[in-house]
Structure 1
Amino acid sequence: MFSLQTIFGKGDKFYGLLEQSAEAARDSARALHDLVSRKEHAPVMAAFAASRAREKALAAQISEELVNTFVTALDREDIEALNSALYKIPKTIEKFAERYDIVSVRLSDIDFSPRTMVLERSTVVVQEMIGELRRGLRIDPVKKLQDSLQTLEAEGDRMLLAPYRTLYVENNDAMRAMLAKDLFELLEKAIDKCRDVGNIVYSIVLKNS
């Protein structure tokens, strides 16, 4: 007969898996910042491939464990929502990386690094928020982290205005403007995915407080 400690110990493993998933998202964001900051792309693209493989494996493992585990540390629907939201961060980052690697020569004078830095900072906050789940679902620290995510999202939105003005008003190359716009919007989408994770964590804390 299983003890309660054994049963809940099995449920607790989801904290670790979600934390690993958040770490993989952060690593993807760091690799992205390196990608837009370096001229040599090949080593960084290899890092993306490794990070995505790791994230896919973690997402699949979480889904499998949900089927096989009787008692979970959090509600199953909350774990599923977090698993899906975390998975979308490196997935969106990978889309940017693949497209940037193709068109970066055409956009060599556009500096994406300030926006990728905001994204990286957002994934660090996400990692901290996921870490808070096993610390007792405390409202105050999670609310502060949620506020930080919202501030970073607003900063990312604000930073889009200047390059859009330059591309559409001061430049006659329509194709170049569209390529840049696509990449800027992917960065914005990745930051939004971080916000989505934060919203889920905050709702979990509120529900269980």
Structure 2
Amino acid sequence: MFSLQTIFGSGQQFYTLLDEAAQAAHDSTKALHTMMKATDRQPALDAFKLARLRERAASDKIGKALVDSFITPIEREDIEALGSALYKIPKQVEKFADRYSLAIQHLDGIDFAPRAAMLEQAASVVVEMVHEIKKMNIDRMTSLNEKLRAIENEADRLMLELYRDIYSGRLDHLQMFLLKEFFEILEKAIDRCREAGVVAYQIVLKNS
């Protein structure tokens, strides 16, 4: 006798699709960090476009699967919320890359690599958290959530250092404006990672 799960599927494909979305988001942050570490720091926008396309494809697949599937392993609203949160990460990273490519000639001597490294770390934790959802291990997820929170706190501390640089007097008005804008974009990208992590954590908290 066939069970409903056999007929309609178990919904396990949603875990795979969410993993794909998280990895695409992480890849966009890796591309940014690599660009910021490079000696010439020349924008290679193709890497960001590709990550966004992969993220968009994963998001579209999630949306279609939600329409087509009778069974989901977790609540549909949670899948939608996590998919939406993951989608916003590479979108924010691409925003930075696009604007950076237009303003690079005004940013000589400004090092974005440390903040880009923190963003990559945050996205890496998000990948772990999304992958761990299927296991519903609250202790592991709590540990990862605390790790992500620590990265966010460190990013907030670095933002205070940024304002010291802005008001140091060594920058012209255009550089002051650009420095503030670009670091705020990076800060928001880390916030997007934190938001995705919170959704993943709450899913496990609710279902464990």
Q: TM-score, with normalisation over the residues of structure 1?
A: 0.94
1:7, 1:71 within 8 Å by CA — same for their partners in 2? no
Partner deviation per Cα, 1:43-92 (whole Å, 9 max, x = no partner): x3111111111111111110111011110111000000000000000000
How many angstroms apart in 2 are the aligned matches of 1:6 and 1:94? 41
How many angstroms apart in 2 are the aligned matches of 1:127 and 1:94? 19
Partner deviation per Cα, 1:94-123 (whole Å, 9 max, x = no partner): 000101111122112110000000000001
Secondary structure, aligned partner of 1:111? coil
**How many residues are paired up?**
207
Residue 174 (structure 2) pairs with residue 158 (structure 1): no
- Residue 10 (structure 1) shift: 4.4
1:71 aligned residue: 71
1:41 aligned residue: 42
Partner deviation per Cα, 1:153-183 (whole Å, 9 max, x = no partner): 0111111222321222323512211111111
Q: How does 1:83-122 map to 2 (within 5 A)?
A: 83-122=83-122
1:8, 1:71 within 8 Å by CA — same for their partners in 2? yes
- Residue 134 (structure 1) shift: 1.3
- Residue 40 (structure 1) shift: 5.3
Identity %: 48
Unaligned runs of 5+ in 1: none
1:174 aligned residue: 173
How many angstroms apart in 1 are the aligned matches of 2:163 and 2:9? 51
Unaligned runs of 5+ in 2: none
1:192 aligned residue: 191
CA RMSD in angstroms comes to: 1.6
2:9, 2:71 within 8 Å by CA — same for their partners in 1? no
Q: Does 141-150 or 164-173 show the bigger shift?
A: 164-173
1:8, 1:73 within 8 Å by CA — same for their partners in 2? no
